[in-house]
A and B are shown apart, each in its own frame.
Chain A
Amino acid sequence: MKKRVTLLKEFTKGLWEINPTFKQILGMCPTLAVTVSAINGIAMALATTFVLFFSSLLISLIRKWIPNQVRIASYIVIIATFVTIVDLVMKAQFVELSKALGPFIPLIVVNCIILGRAEAFASKNNPLRSMLDALGNGAGFLISLFVLGSIREIIGSRTILGYQVMPNGFEPWLIMILPAGAFLTLGLLMGLANLYTERKKNLEREALIAQYKRVGREEITDEVLKEAGV
C-alpha cells in the first residue's frame, strides 16, 4: 500500500530530502562546470527547471499512450525538444550567458535529473503531482547550484552576483574558479550535508527511544526504528 503524500510534500521533498545534487547525486556535470559564479549557476538551474517542468508535465499527460518498450527513447525526444527551445531562446535573448554556459545548455538533454524524474515519477503519477515534483526538484537543484556558485564566487573572485563583498585586502583564491576548486568545494559540501543528515537521524532515533522508555512499554525493536525511518 502506497502512503498518501500531500501535494505540498511532493514539492518540498525535492528541496532537501531528495535534493538532486546532494542526495541523488545526479546532474553532476553541469553542477561542477557552470558554478564559477552564482549567476551562471542560477541561469543553468532555471534552464534545467524549465525543461524538467515541461517534460514532466508532457510525459505525465501522455504516460498511458507511451508503449513500455520505447518509453526511454520517447522521453529523450521530448526532453530534446524542450532543450532545443531553451537553447535557441538563450542564444537569441541572453547572448552573454549562452556563451558562458557553452555546450552545457544543449547538454541538459543528458542531465540525469530530468530522465530520472521522468522515469521514477512522471511516468507513474498524474500531471499535477508531476508538475510539483518537477518544480521541487528544480528548486532543489537551484539551491545547490546557487550555494556552490556563491561559495566559489566569493572566495574565488571576491564578489557575489557581481557585487564585491570581500575586502580588497583579501587575496582571491584562484583555485576556486578553476576546475579543481569545483571538485573540492562540492566534495566538502556533500560531506557536510551527509554529516548533518546523520546527526539529525541520530537525534531523532534517540528521541524515539527516549519516548518508548518514558511510556514504559515493551523494548524498542529494530523494526520499529526502521518503520520510523531513523
Chain B
Amino acid sequence: MELFLIFISAALVNNFVLSYFLGICPFIGVSNKLSSAISMGMATTFVMALTAIVSWLLYNLILIPYHLDFLQIPSFILVIAALVQFVEMVIKKVSQPLYRALGIFLPLITTNCAILGLALLASMRSYNFMESVIFGVGAGAGFTLALIIMAGIREELDLADVPKPFQGAPITLIVAGILALAFMGFAGMI
C-alpha cells in the first residue's frame, strides 16, 4: 500500500513536470509531436528506473558507509552520464529498431534535471530500495503522461491562430499552466 501511494504520488499528485518543475527543457522541446513524445517518455522512464536502482546502491553502499556523502552531486551526475552512455550502447547492439526510435533522445536525457532530481529526492527522503525503484518508475510514468498530453494539445494548437509573439515557448508555457491546474485536481487523492 505504501508503495502504491509512492507511485501515485510521483506520477499524478506531485507530477515531476507540472508540480516539481523537473524536466521542463525536454517538456518544451520534444512535445510538438506525439510520436516523439512517446519515445522520449519511454526512454526517460527506462533511464529513471535504472537511475533509481544505481543511485540507491551508490548512495547507501558506498557514499554513506565511507562518509563520502559530500561527493553526492558529482558522483550522481557522473553515474547518470555513464549509465545513459551504457544504455545507448546496449540498445544499439541489441535492437536496431528500438535504437532508431530512442537513439537521438538518449543523449538529451543526461542533462535532464528530472533524472538527477529523482536521485537527489530519493536520497533526501531516505527511501529504501523498493521505494526508490517504485518512485523512479512512478516519476517516469508521470513524466511520460505529461509529455503525451502536452504533445496531443500542441498538435491541435498548430491549427489555432496564436498571436505571433506568443507562438512557440510562451503559448506552451501557458498551456502547461492550465494543465498544471488540471493536475491539481489529483491533490485530494492522498
Bound Cα distance A186, B172 (Å): 10
Let me know if A184 is at the binding interface, CB within 8 A: yes
Query: A195 to B163, alpha carbons, bound, how many Å?
Result: 10
Q: Is B164 an interface residue (CB 8 A)?
A: yes
Give the distance to chain A from B119, nearest Cβ to Cβ, in Å.
Answer: 10
Tally A residues with Cβ within 8 Å of B.
Answer: 42
Across-interface contacts of A83 in B (CB, < 8 A)? 73
Chain B contacts of A109 at CB under 8 A? 73, 77, 116
* In the assembled complex, B24 has its CB within 8 A of some CB on chain A: yes
* B124 contacts the other chain (CB 8 A): yes
Contact A76 B81, beta carbon cutoff 8 Å: yes
Chain B, Cβ-Cβ closest to A103? B120
Q: How near does chain B come to A75, taking the closest CB pair, in angstroms?
A: 11
Residues of A near B121 (CB, < 8 A) are 103
Q: What B residues does A106 contact at CB under 8 A? A: 72-73, 116, 120
- Chain B, interface residues (CB within 8 Å), range: 35 or more
B66: Cβ under 8 A from any A Cβ: no
Is A190 interfacial (CB-CB < 8 Å)? yes
Q: Is the CB of A187 within 8 A of B113?
A: no
- Rounded to whole Å, the gap between the CB of B180 and the closest CB of chain A is 4
Do B172 and A187 touch across chains, with their CB atoms under 8 A apart? yes
Within 8 A of A (CB), among B136-190: 163-166, 169-174, 176-178, 180-181, 184
Cβ–Cβ < 8 Å partners of B172 in chain A = 187
Mask for A78-121, Cβ within 8 A of B = 1, else 0?
00110110011000000000000011001101111001000000
Nearest-neighbor residue (CB-CB) of B14 within chain A: A179
Whether B22 pairs with A80 at a CB distance below 8 angstroms is: no
B116 contacts A107, C-beta separation under 8 Å: yes
B116, A29: Cβ atoms closer than 8 Å: no
Q: Which B residues are CB-close (under 8 A) to A103? A: 117, 120-121, 124
Contact of A25 among B28, B164, B177 (CB under 8 A): B28
CB distance from B171 to the nearest CB of A (A): 7
Q: List A residues at the B interface (Cβ < 8 Å).
A: 25-26, 28-30, 32-33, 73, 76-77, 80-81, 83-84, 87-88, 102-103, 106-107, 109-112, 115, 175, 178-184, 186-188, 190-192, 194-195, 198
15 contacts between A and B (CB under 8 A): A25-B28, A26-B25, A28-B28, A29-B21, A33-B21, A84-B71, A88-B70, A107-B120, A179-B19, A180-B178, A184-B177, A190-B173, A191-B171, A195-B165, A198-B164
Q: Which 4 A-B pairs have the closest CB atoms?
A: A183-B177, A187-B173, A194-B165, A187-B174
